[in-house]
């Protein structure tokens, strides 16, 4: 399964899904620019913000209460925004597209 990260300027990075890992881990493992993951995946830093393609929002799920606190501080927050460290990848994500904000927190 392949996930595509689209940067704010339209640059695409396609990376293989590693099921069971978080989307933040997958991004950092593959050196996708724009995902920092400073807190190591604790939903505490807000540097792993992604905006999920609305067509995929149902499949990957909406943000939980722990994420909302961080997401509320993001000026670029969208209805489908998630903290990618709180998204656990599955093989069903083949073709998933997420956009990256111009700036992380």
State the residues that interact with ligand FES by CB under 6 A.
Answer: 24, 37-39, 41-48, 70, 83, 85
Nearer to ligand FES, 6 or 39 (CB): 39
Residue 20 and residue 54: Cα distance in Å, rounded? 22
CB of 95 to ligand FES, least distance (A): 23
Q: Are 71 and 24 in contact (CB under 8 A)?
A: no
Helix (H) or strand (E) holding 36: none
Nearest to 40 by CA among 24, 16, 63, 62: 24
CB of 45 to ligand FES, least distance (A): 3
CB of 84 to ligand FES, least distance (A): 6
């Amino acid at each position: 399964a392949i996930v595509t990260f689209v940067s704010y300027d339209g640059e695409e990075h396609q990376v293989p899904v590693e099921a069971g890992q978080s989307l933040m881990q997958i991004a950092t493992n593959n050196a996708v620019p724009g995902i920092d993951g400073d807190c190591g995946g604790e939903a505490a830093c807000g540097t792993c913000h992604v905006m999920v393609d609305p067509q995929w929002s149902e499949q990957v799920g909406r943000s939980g209460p722990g994420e909302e606190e961080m997401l509320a501080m993001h000026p670029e927050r969208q209805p489908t925004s998630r903290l990618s460290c709180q998204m656990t990848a599955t093989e069903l994500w083949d073709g998933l597209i997420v956009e990256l904000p111009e700036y992380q927190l």
